[in-house]
Amino acid sequence: MTWISRVRNALAYVTTRSTESPDNLWHKCKGCGTMVFLKELEANQHVCTHCDHHDRIGPAKRFEYLFDADSYTVLPSPKVAEDPLKFRDQKPYPARLKAARAATGEQDAFLNASGTIHGRRAVIGVQDFAFMGGSMGQAVGEAFIAGVEAAIADRAPYIVFTASGGARMQEGILSLMQMPRTTVAIEMLHDAGLPYIVVLTDPTSGGVMAAYAMLGDVQIAEPRATLAFTGRRVIENTIREKLPDDFQTSEYYLEHGLIDMVTHRKDLRDKLGQLIGLLCEAKQAA
């Protein structure tokens, strides 16, 4: 072994170890592959300081970045019947739930909090991709409805951050039933004269995309998020055509008029505060 390959191997060892170690100080960016200092990444709301890649984040971080400091409380998650179909794939469904709960510290893939943004009341619901791919089952549907009810009680808008692979297959038809249920909940919000705002984050797809993810009065997306109903390969194989490179991205959706704006994570708090002011105060004045 030459000296250069020894140095190269040693460096490779250090680099691999630092990405695998749970208490590491560095984070390898999924966008550009650069090693970013974790503290620096956290200070930048988990957006890469080199390439602007928006990392996936869960409810706790969202609430912290969006609400006024110390203004919010996390709302309790409604209880639902677990494993109604006694479903089993390679593992029983309860074992998957248990593992996801241990990994995230959450009960299921959706969490609400109520508080203020720039002094204006808001209820925010966040879907967590880290919990079984953010899949929509009964617990997600119930939490969404609870969020709407909290918003109505608070006379506040409901803001939802989506991140999901779609319906939760372990709950079969019961998960698909959450599509009309959440749609009716949004109508309840509208009947109360309150706005529903959606922020699409990476990735949002399947049944969620076909339901509450696209029903916002205002549709926002984070930059370069993958947004889809059906995956790119399935469409390409069906229509036998090559799709554009930016197909199913936030920017493509904006260009084709499906969403209203693409907003950088660092600007979301100000943008949402401004929107609540415009939508709610204009309503009160009318």
By CB under 5 A, how many residues form the interface with Zn ion?
Answer: 7
Examine residue 48 and tell whether it contacts Zn ion (CB under 5 A). yes
Residues 6+ apart with CB under 8 A from 78: 139, 142, 143, 145, 146
Cβ of residue 32: shortest distance to Zn ion, in angstroms? 3
With CB under 5 A as the contact rule, the residue among 29, 209, 275, 276 that binds Zn ion is 29
Among 25, 32, 43, 192, binds Zn ion (CB under 5 A): 32
Q: Is there a contact between 75 and 109 (Cβ–Cβ < 8 Å)?
A: no
Contact between 53 and Zn ion per CB under 5 A: yes
Q: What's at 51, amino acid-wise? A: C
Q: Which stretch binds Zn ion (CB under 5 A): 24-32, 54-62, 75-83, 150-158?
A: 24-32
The least CB distance from residue 150 to Zn ion, in Å, is: 36
Q: Does 47 bind Zn ion (CB under 5 A)?
A: no
When asked if residue 31 is in the footprint of Zn ion (CB under 5 A), the reply is yes
Question: Of the listed pieces 8-16, 28-36, 190-198, 221-229, which binds Zn ion according to CB under 5 A?
Answer: 28-36
Is 30 or 232 the residue whose CB approaches Zn ion more closely? Answer: 30
Which listed range, 52-60, 91-99, 142-150, 177-185, lies at the site for Zn ion (CB under 5 A)? Answer: 52-60
Min dist. Cβ of residue 49 to Zn ion (A) = 8
**Residue 180 CB, nearest approach to Zn ion (Å):** 40
Q: Does position 94 bind Zn ion by CB under 5 A?
A: no
Is 94 or 223 the residue whose CB approaches Zn ion more closely? Answer: 223
Q: Which is nearer to Zn ion, 29 or 139 (CB)?
A: 29
| Contact between residue 283 and residue 127 where contact means Cβ atoms under 8 Å apart | no
**C-alpha to C-alpha distance for 252 and 245, rounded to whole angstroms:** 10
CB of 251 to Zn ion, least distance (A): 17
To Zn ion, the closest distance from the beta carbon of 133 in angstroms equals 23
- Least separation in angstroms between residue 227's CB and Zn ion is 20
How far, in Å, CA of 141 to CA of 146, rounded? 9
CB of 156 within 8 A of CB of 123? yes
Segment lying near Zn ion (by CB under 5 A), choices 45-53, 55-63, 246-254, 265-273:
45-53
Q: How far is the CB of 244 from Zn ion (least distance, A)?
A: 23
- Asked if 46 interacts with Zn ion (CB under 5 A), we say no
What CA–CA distances, in Å, run from 7 to 2, 17, 177? 9, 15, 58
Closest to Zn ion by CB, 53 vs 120, is 53
Which residues of the shown chain bind Zn ion in the complex (CB under 5 A)? 29, 31-32, 48, 50-51, 53
